[in-house]
Amino acid sequence: MSPKARVFLITTSAVVALDQLTKYWVRANIRPYSSADEVVIIPNWLSISHAINKGAAFSALADFEYRLAVFFTFTAIAVVVIGVGYRMIAANDRLVSAALGTLLAGALGNFIDRLWAGQVTDMIKVYAGSEPAKSWCISHFGMSVWPIFNIADTAIWVGVGGFLLAHAFVKDQPADSPPADGPQESAPSLD
């Protein structure tokens, strides 16, 4: 198995498992929208809650009748695009492979929820903290609590960010130069 395949499979599997296990734990232990059950991690900054999201990010399309068909279509397109991107990277490109694996895991994590229940379980609740940060967030964003999200949502952003960072710091090689890991053997020429 190539290094990129190993990293891709391990990353995808680990993130999907973490996402599904956290969602299972939240559904089993925290009532939806119950502030009494909320688990405070860092007071005024971070807690674990339970929200149900029938839509996409920020509950977009939550009331749209055909939302599941739209989400399944976008997930299928994302899987194909990630697959094509994976096939295009070098066999030893672990960073882009990890980024694509994380991105795929995020898409699959929320897809599993929608397939299983027609909705997504969210649990990570981030607050603006205390003053003056709280007032600043309210005046600039109109809120002091970020919309609740989950591990899969985070994986999508981390995957996209990792992919962009990898490409921002990789130097393009001229078309006629050998790959960074040295010249490759080729078949004898018939010339």
| Known active-site residue 122 | yes
Spatial contact of 85 and 160, defined as CB atoms under 8 Å apart: no
* Residue 81 neighbours by CB distance under 10 Å: 14
C-alpha R_g of the chain: 21
| Known active-site residue 176 | no
Calculated CA dihedral for residues 73, 79, 81, 85, nearest 10 degrees: 180
Tokens of 49: 């809650």
Q: Which of 37, 93, 122, 191 is catalytic?
A: 122
User: How far does CA 159 lie from the centroid of its chain?
Assistant: 6
Q: Which of 37, 63, 153, 181 is catalytic?
A: 153
Catalytic residues, which ones?
A: 122, 153
